[in-house]
Amino acid sequence: MSAAKAKRREKKMRNQPANVQYPSPPQVESRAENGGGGEGLHLTGTHDFISAEHLFIPQRPVKALGVSLSRSDPFMYARSRCHQDRTNKDVGPWAGFSPLSPCLAGAFARARAAEVSAMLKAATKTTCSSHVFQVLPKHMRRRAMSHNTKRLPRRLRDVANRMKRKEPVKSKSRKFNRRQRKNIWLETHIWHAKRFHMVKKWGYCLGVRPTYKCYRPCYRAMSSHCLLQDLSYYCCIELKGEEDKLLAALTQLTCKEAGPTFAAAMFLSGARQGSVTVYRAGRYPSDPLGPVTFLWRPQTPGLTHRQLWIWAHPALKQDLLPELQSACQCSEAVAPPVEPEVSRAEADPTPRAEPNPDNELKAGAKRKRRCKDGSEPPAKRILGDGTRLPTSPVTWRSSSTGLVINDLTMEIIRYRLIGPQSHSVLAETLEAATVCDEVKFSPLWWPEHCKDQSNMNLHQQQTDVFNVLKGIYSTGELPPGTVLGLTVDDPRLTLPRQKVKAVPCVNQDPVGYEEKRNQLMLQGVPLQCCQSFLWERSVRDNVTDNKISEQVPSDPSPQSCLKGAEKLPFNKKKLPKHVDSARHRHKSSLDYYRLYLSKVPMFSFLSLQVYREVRVSGLHMSLKHSQNKAAPHFPHDYPDCPAGSRFQEEQEAEFLDMFRRRPPAKRTNYIKQGCLAPFRCPWQQLAEEWELLVTDGGADRKGDVQTQMTRKSHEVIEEVTSQQNVAAASPPSCFTVLRNRRSLRLLSSWCRPPTCRGQRRGRGAAAALPLSDSAVTSFHAAHKMSVVWVRLTLLSKGKPEAHAMVCAPTAEDLKLFGKSPENCGPQEPPHKDHYKSRINRKKKSSKTATPSQESDNPTASTDPHSPSDLLQGLWPDPLPSVVSHCSRVTLGWVTQGDFSLAVGRGEALGFVSVSGLLHTLLKQPPELRGTLLLRNPTSLHYRFVRLNIDV
């Protein structure tokens, strides 16, 4: 028999039951009866006799239902006189067979009974991978039966339900850890990965936008109901120490001119959450790091030790954390506690046999991938973040000041609920925790806290406040940044049976609730109710270690909502939470809540919000939310921060790669469009050029700036190149973004016409200061090399795009706009491409030139504008004058632009030069102040826009 046939036979006989394999037949005692005239058989162990001539067995194996009978069975074949059988001419059912030699009838019957038993077992037994619907004939099987038992016949539904409940839980694969070596997954990653386009950013895998159409539904949820965002990727840095020492260190990083700081009274008490822009120590107004939000722990009477949480974007953490360590003098890294190692013999005293590598794998089994070194992460899920290495320290201490810095990234979950009905969603989802009965011993934290009467009194006060707040309509009725600490039950206990839209509570309030609600709306939440057990690390670790399974059963009833709840000493799991509300000053429809939670089953919590018709969004809608608020979005709109400059470089490389992939005939020629930088915004060059024009009255000596724009392109290139050489010789001074609140209010009042409707009166002498040459000179002297954040609203049709140019209109443009405000705007004359001929000549010469001729040409490498470095349609570096390149003076660029559903027309956000804006406002008539021009990079058409500066 060949090797292939032997292999097929081995595979066929692999399932042969062992009880039908027998050795050679036992000895048979024979004796002669009736004088030896006839032969008879005596069966060993029995008293039955059987005649050999009446027993015939077929020569071929019998197969029934997948069970094959082995040839090794001594009763299977009896072949004698083979040559005579082949020549036998008898035709009948027993042709080709011969009488059997003496055998045992009892053994033969037992062998047949074993085969029948094995055959029935193979026909009726279902393996672990089998399902009930596979028992049905093929014409009755449907794909829906595999997951919906109601599709099965009635006689099989009970069996399918029992098998579904007893299905073993699969252990988590190590791929879960291997995939997180470079990019960490959030707690809700699995939920988002099934429904969102994922992107790898800042060390995390984050959802950008859903796979379905969502722009308008998300806006409707944001403006009328509730929109949910998972902000758990934000980094939390904890500072602990004496209050005066903490404030002394943090004061170096902020300034009162830019708004309330860490030391503001309304934030220092812990009743509200604040936000501030952080700078490098002592470098205000230059060298900003970025915006952060912070929250103080409410102070305990009689103690000066305070605790502070600082929340920062992951792109900001690498710049903020070293600055905090330097300011707090916390350079001593504290090693984490090392758990004592336990040997395998101590951990498992039961002796085990040494594994045999030869017998370890069965036939047909796959060998699992083994780790050859210690770099393989354990099977347990990794707890960490994407902003640091797993071996990096997370705690730093100062021996001189006693301050401690802890990195709590990915230890606290952070959600943001946007919309007027976000309060109603939280009111229906969260229920205050019930007091636990007296328990002798419990591994959970809540029963121990229930034994302290002071904790229960505080919990009752927080519950009363939460019940009173259920009656408010939206977050706009609460002071911005209000904080409420509350311990709640597991939200899965309130899972509705079907999707129900959360609506405000309009029932009749109990007696006295109206007065309490008015008091809360005016004074805020009492200070003692802002306390939360979420500040305690031991409580957070206890909730994380003892959290119940995230799997929600199919029965949504509260009795069966939590798996394993009946094993607990009480039926509900307690989760400490921090609820913080914030709202925009001008648009109450953009109110939102921030929800801070410990490590809880976030997958189930997210599903519960969806059951209340809450729409979930990603990074894209987070950017749109900032646009609707007209607020800068980090890091997109922070060009003076290190994270903002890095983002601009990455964005330029991405856009440039997309531009290169398109053929030259199918991409825009930005040189002919008069666009110098279509993929980036050169803020530094813009501030330097306006500084040269305005300093020492340079613009007045040269005359009107608009008259200088009629010069030809080659003259502009020569003049600006000389200016850049002079600027390169002097020490560079970086531009800054104007964030002084007093100066912003003054500049905002100058940008509005005197008869502007809805104009609020300014406070103080700054608002009463009129626009004049002396006021502009003093303002410019205080804020040199600065740009300001502006909001631009189109006065006609059009949709602004990113990197669009913001220009100053000429006197003729303003006259045209005064006659017809609906006029779209002027046109930019087409520009000439000076580098197209060079590129064409280079292409022709490269086809005919030899390699030796190319190496003998030394000017190709020394020329900064050599054709080899040019890309058709783009200006090469260094750029010519960005201010005087077009027929209208350039004041700035747009960073975010789109059609705004909130305004009903196109709206753009960006920065303009403070010097250029002041010079433009002085030249405009009072009734048309703040009217500018906007032009997209791919268009030659200017459109009129209205400029606003929101403070």
- Is a pLDDT exceeding 70 seen at residue 222? yes
pLDDT for res 868: 55
Q: Which helix (H) or strand (E) holds 330?
A: none
Task: For residue 594, list its beta bridge partners.
Answer: 416, 580
**Number of C-beta neighbours around residue 695 at 10 A:** 13
For the chain, percent of residues with pLDDT exceeding 90:
26
User: Of the ranges 207-221, 504-518, 573-587, 634-648, which one carries the lowest mean pLDDT score?
Assistant: 573-587
Output the pLDDT for position 945.
Answer: 93
Q: Which residue has the higher pLDDT, 420 or 169?
A: 420
What is the reported pLDDT for 238? Answer: 93
Average pLDDT score over residue span 75-82: 42
Q: How far apart are CA 434 and CA 456, in angstroms?
A: 10
88 pLDDT tier (thresholds 50, 70, 90)? very low
CA distance 538 to 216: 43
Provide the pairing of β-strand 196-201 with 404-407: unpaired
The pLDDT-based confidence of 611 (bands split at 50, 70, 90) is: confident
CATH assignment of 233-333+391-409, given 3.30.70, 2.40.30, 3.40.50, 1.10.1660?
Answer: 3.30.70
Q: Which of 91-100, 297-306, 732-741 has the lowest mean pLDDT?
A: 91-100
Q: What is the mean pLDDT of the chain?
A: 75
Lowest mean pLDDT, pick from 32-46, 656-670, 784-798: 32-46
Average pLDDT over residues 599-621: 78
Find the mean pLDDT for residues 56-79.
Answer: 42
| pLDDT confidence of residue 753 | 82
C-alpha 323/C-alpha 242 separation (Å) is: 19
Pairing of strands 592-597, 413-418: antiparallel
pLDDT of residue 821: 72
- 3-class SS string, 375-417: CCCCCCCCCCCCCCCCCCCCEEECCCCCCEEEECCCCCEEEEE
CA 940 to chain centre: 39
Q: What is the Cα–Cα distance from 711 to 634, expressed in whole angstroms? A: 39
Q: Which of 28-32, 634-638, 903-907 has the lowest mean pLDDT?
A: 28-32
Residue 638 has pLDDT above 50, yes or no: yes
For residue 719, the model assigns a pLDDT of 46
User: Could you tell me the pLDDT band of residue 55, with boundaries at 50, 70 and 90?
Assistant: very low
Least confident piece of the model among 450-454, 457-461, 767-771, 780-784? 767-771
For residue 480, pLDDT over 90 is answered with: no
Predicted local distance difference test score (pLDDT) of residue 746: 93
Average pLDDT for 648-677: 91
* Span of 61-75, 474-488, 525-539, 609-623 with lowest mean pLDDT: 61-75
Does position 357 have pLDDT exceeding 50, yes or no?
Answer: no
Model pTM score: 0.73
Cα–Cα dist 391/399, whole Å: 23
236 has which bridge partners?
311
Model confidence band, residue 591 (pLDDT cutoffs 50, 70, 90): low
pLDDT band with cut points at 50, 70 and 90 for residue 633: very high
**CA 539, 542, 543, 547: dihedral to nearest 10 degrees?**
-170
Amino acid 54: pLDDT: 39
- Structure confidence at residue 101 (pLDDT): 47
Half-sphere exposure of 676 (CA within 13 A, CB side): 22
Whether 494 shows a pLDDT value over 70: the answer reads: yes
Best CATH choice for the domain 642-696+735-753+770-830+871-948 from the list 1.10.3720.10, 2.40.30.110, 3.30.70.260, 3.10.20.30: 2.40.30.110
d(CA 407, CA 420): 33
Token pair for 297: 């722990």
Between 481 and 580, where is the model more confident?
481
Most confident of 105-114, 298-307, 369-378, 809-818: 809-818
**Selected residue with higher pLDDT from 722 and 308:** 308
Position with higher pLDDT, 240 vs 367: 240
Please give the pLDDT value at position 733: 66
Q: Which H/E stretch holds residue 239?
A: strand 235-242
The answer to whether the peptide bond before residue 285 is cis (omega within 30 degrees of 0) is: yes
Write the single-letter amino acid at 346.
E
Task: Check: CB of residue 488 under 8 Å from CB of residue 407.
Answer: no
pLDDT of residue 9: 76
**Residue-range domain boundaries for the chain:** 233-333+391-409, 410-544+572-607, 642-696+735-753+770-830+871-948
Helix, strand, coil tally for the chain in percent (to 5): 40, 15, 45
User: How large a percentage of the chain has pLDDT more than 70?
Assistant: 68
